[in-house]
C-alpha cells in the first residue's frame, strides 16, 4: 500500500519525531513526500525531502526552485489562475501515484482561514473514499468517515482525556454509535449547525465511532495539547 505525506504551507509539527505518532512506519517502504508550493520549505524544516513539488510557485523563489531540483525534486508548475488550490493539486498527485494512506501536514493555520476551511473540505473528495486520509498540524488530527449514502467507522487511538469532537458534514449524520468516549452516542443523529458533538473525551486508549449514513468529521486533540482553562472541557454535549 503506497503511503504519501503531503506538506502544505500552514502549521506543521514542531519536530520530525512527531511524524512517527501521526504516521507509523509502513512495511511497504518510506512514504512519497509531496509539497504544495511553499510547503516545500516546511517539508525541508521537518527533514523531509519532497519527491514532488507542485503548485503555482508564488511562494517559492528561483533559489528555492534550484535547491529543490538539486535535491532531486520533480517540480510541477501550474498557472496562478486555476480551479484547484496547491494543496488539492498535491493531494490529487498523491492519488495519481497510487497512494492509499495520506497524511496532509500544514493544512491549518497560516494567515488564511479560508485556506484551512478549503483543506478540511478536501476530505469530502469522492476520490478519497476507501482511503485513509488525515489532516494534521502535529497536534490536532482530522479525519472524515462515512458517505452521504452509506456507513463509516473509525478507531481513534490516544490517551484518556484526549478531546474528540464530531462535526457533521452533511445536513444530518444518522446512526452514530460511539464507544470509549465520555459522552456516548447510541444510534443517534448529529445535525449540521448545533455544537452537540463538540469536546467529547476519550476514557480509554481507544474509541470506536461508527455511522449508518452521512459524512462525519472526527477531530482528535491529545490531552497534552489542551488548554487547562478551556471552558468547554467539561461541557457535556446535549
CB 144 within 8 A of CB 111: no
- 166 and 214 inside one domain: yes
**Could you tell me whether strands 186-191 and 216-221 are parallel, antiparallel, or unpaired per DSSP bridges?**
unpaired
Indicate if 4 and 43 belong to the same structural domain.
yes
The tens digit of pLDDT for each residue in 90-145 reads 999 999 999 999 999 999 987 789 999 999 999 999 999 999 999 999 899 999 99
Same structural domain, 119 and 166: no
Domain that holds residue 64: 1-138
List, for residues 163-215, the tens digit of each pLDDT value. 999 999 999 999 999 999 999 999 999 999 999 999 999 999 999 999 999 99
d(C-alpha 103, C-alpha 146), whole Å: 18
Tell me which of 91, 121, 138 is where a domain ends. Answer: 138
Specify the number of domains making up the chain: 2
Cα separation values, 78 from 52, 133, 137, 160, Å: 13, 24, 26, 45
- 27 with 114, same domain: the answer is yes
Do 144 and 54 sit in the same domain of this protein? Answer: no
Contact 219, 167 (CB under 8 A): yes
Do 15 and 82 share a domain, yes or no? yes
Q: How confident is the model at residue 234 (pLDDT cuts 50, 70, 90)?
A: very low
- Shared domain check, 150 and 63: no
Q: Is 94 exposed, middle or buried (0-12, 13-18, 19+ CB in 10 A)?
A: buried
Same domain for 144 and 82, yes or no, is: no
d(CA 69, CA 212): 47
Of the candidates 86, 24, 28, the residue with the CA atom closest to the CA atom of residue 57: 86
Examine the domain organization and report whether 149 and 82 are in the same domain.
no
CATH code, 149: 2.60.120.320
Indicate the residue among 94, 111, 138 that finishes a domain. 138
Report the CATH number at residue 110: 3.40.50.10240
- Please indicate, yes or no, whether residues 43 and 133 belong to a single structural domain of this protein: yes
Query: 122 and 20 in one domain?
Result: yes
Residue 10 Cα distances to 52, 161, 201, angstroms: 18, 27, 27
Identify the DSSP state of 183.
Answer: S
Domain boundary among 90, 108, 138: 138
- Per-residue model confidence as pLDDT tens digits over 31-84: 999 999 999 999 999 999 999 999 998 888 999 999 999 999 999 999 888 989
Instruction: Identify whether residues 19 and 125 lie together within a single domain.
Output: yes
What's this model's pTM, rounded to 2 decimal places? Answer: 0.89
Amino acid at each position: 500500500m503506497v503511503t504519501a505525506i503531503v506538506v502544505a504551507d500552514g502549521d506543521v509539527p514542531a519536530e520530525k519525531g512527531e511524524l512517527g505518532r501521526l504516521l507509523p512506519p509502513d512495511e511497504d517502504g518510506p512514504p512519497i513526500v509531496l509539497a504544495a508550493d511553499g510547503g516545500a520549505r516546511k517539508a525541508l524544516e521537518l527533514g523531509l525531502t519532497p519527491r514532488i513539488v507542485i503548485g503555482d510557485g508564488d511562494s517559492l523563489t528561483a533559489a528555492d526552485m534550484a535547491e529543490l531540483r538539486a535535491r532531486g525534486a520533480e517540480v510541477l508548475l501550474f498557472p496562478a489562475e486555476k480551479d484547484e488550490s496547491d494543496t488539492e493539486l498535491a493531494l490529487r498527485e498523491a492519488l495519481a501515484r497510487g497512494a492509499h494512506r495520506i497524511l496532509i501536514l500544514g493544512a491549518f493555520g497560516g494567515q488564511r482561514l479560508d485556506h484551512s476551511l478549503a483543506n478540511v473540505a478536501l476530505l469530502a473528495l469522492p476520490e478519497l473514499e476507501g482511503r485513509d486520509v488525515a489532516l494534521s498540524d502535529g497536534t490536532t488530527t482530522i479525519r472524515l468517515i462515512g458517505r452521504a449514502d452509506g456507513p463509516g467507522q473509525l478507531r481513534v487511538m490516544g490517551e484518556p482525556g484526549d478531546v474528540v469532537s464530531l462535526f457533521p458534514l452533511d445536513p444530518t449524520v444518522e446512526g452514530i454509535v460511539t464507544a470509549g468516549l465520555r459522552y456516548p452516542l447510541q444510534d443517534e443523529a448529529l445535525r449540521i449547525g448545533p455544537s452537540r458533538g463538540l469536546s467529547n473525551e476519550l476514557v480509554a486508549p481507544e474509541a470506536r465511532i461508527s455511522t449508518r449514513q452521512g459524512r462525519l468529521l472526527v477531530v482528535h486533540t491529545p490531552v497534552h495539547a489542551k488548554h487547562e482553562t478551556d471552558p468547554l472541557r467539561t461541557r457535556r454535549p446535549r
